[in-house]
Chain A
Amino acid sequence: MITVRLSESWSQRLVQMPESGMGYQRVDVLLKDGRLIKNVMVLNAEECQTSEPFDPADIADIALSRSMGKG
């Protein structure tokens, strides 16, 4: 598991979205090359915990994950 730090603009967007639990959100990350990385844990709206590395500059969109809830 690696940590990817989000840019300030994505963090600002995430804090406007509901949490999945205290201090974290589960999100799906869409990259500019079309890849979709599902169920990424984001801590404090800034630190992505992911097993699939990506460059934060390549993020096209982030949405709250609906597939697995908290677990």
Chain B
Amino acid sequence: MLRLETSLESWLSTQPEYRMGYQKVIAKLNTGETESGIVVNSEVFLRTGERPWEMFYPDWSTVVNEAGKSSRRVVNAELIPREPETLRGVRQIALDNGKFRVLANRKSVLANFSGGAERLEYLLESRRLSLMAANAAAELAPITLTEAAEIFRRFCAYAKDRRITPGRGVTPGTFATTKEDADANVKTGIDAVARYALADSKPASNVFTISPAKDTELKRGTVQPANNQLGGGVEVIFVNGLPDGTVTGPVLIPDR
């Protein structure tokens, strides 16, 4: 495991993923060597064949620290794009963060052609714009409408989730995920913490089911890395909340 140069981290954060949470690259190291592997979360390089970090370390910050202990660093990377045929069936989710990604990329390019304080300034600006792009995931996405009989899930560490109203609706601005994403990827409360980058590290083992009416307004996006979690799940925001009688549960799933 190796860390990346800061400017490379900024650039990678603006580039497409190979699959959820990582990019496949040919990495050039500060020693002059070239190695193939993946970059996870735009921060840590794992050589091809290296065991997944989850097998050894309890959390992402430990991984980053461990990777930083090596004097070897990745100074450049060539992205390996995913084969177009493997993208069939991947749902395209409209995001409104493209503007920030483009601007971040431009600043990153400018940084590559600058030096000293100017370079640092461009890098910081690029990082800030990348963060805005990431944070824009669902928040700045355009408002869309639910389909007929579309179902959503909400994971919570608490059985008494305060976003659920006494009449079993939800308050405006409440986050959830799609049934498809939850059912396919989350089997435990800890799974939910990682996939939806939850701030509370306690297992989110209480699962609420949300059944809004057709044409309910919501925003859709992808959970960006946050709170030392990789994210990657689908997130939705019920912009105006939901009326009484739309929520059932919670059903308990295993913590781990």
Contact = CB atoms under 8 A, between A and B. Distances in A.
Interface string B224-249: 11110000000101000000000000
A69 B200 contact: no
Contacts of A44: 156-158, 160-162, 200
Contact of A23 (B173, B198, B223, B225): B198
A48 B158 CA distance: 15
Interface residues of B, number: 34
B76 interface: no
A11 interface: yes
A21 B156 contact: no
B173 A69 contact: no
The interface residues of chain B, by DSSP majority, are classed as: loop
A63 to B, nearest CB: 14
B6 interface: no
Given A23-B199, A43-B157, A71-B227, A18 B172 contact: yes
Contacts of A24: 198-200
Interface string B169-200: 00111111100000000000000000011111
Contacts of B123: none
A71 B199 CA distance: 9
Interface in A3-39: 11, 14-24
A16 B131 CA distance: 26
Contacts of B177: 22
B155 interface: yes
Contacts of A71: 131, 134-135, 225-227
B131 A45 contact: no
Given A16-B171, A44-B161, A45-B162, A22 B135 contact: no
Contacts, number: 85
Nearest to A17: B173
Given A70-B226, A71-B131, A18 B163 contact: no
Nearest to B174: A19
A49 B224 CA distance: 21
A15 B132 contact: no
Nearest to B171: A15
A29 to B, nearest CB: 16
A47 to B, nearest CB: 8
Given A44-B162, A69-B131, A69-B132, A21 B196 contact: yes
A22 B198 contact: yes
Given A11-B162, A15-B171, 11 more contacts: A14-B162, A19-B163, A21-B197, A21-B198, A23-B204, A24-B199, A43-B157, A44-B161, A46-B162, A49-B199, A69-B132
Interface of B: 131-132, 134-135, 139, 154-158, 160-163, 171-177, 196-200, 204, 223-227, 235, 237
18 contacts: A11-B162, A15-B162, A15-B163, A16-B171, A18-B237, A19-B174, A19-B237, A21-B199, A22-B156, A22-B204, A23-B157, A41-B199, A43-B200, A44-B156, A49-B199, A69-B135, A69-B226, A70-B224
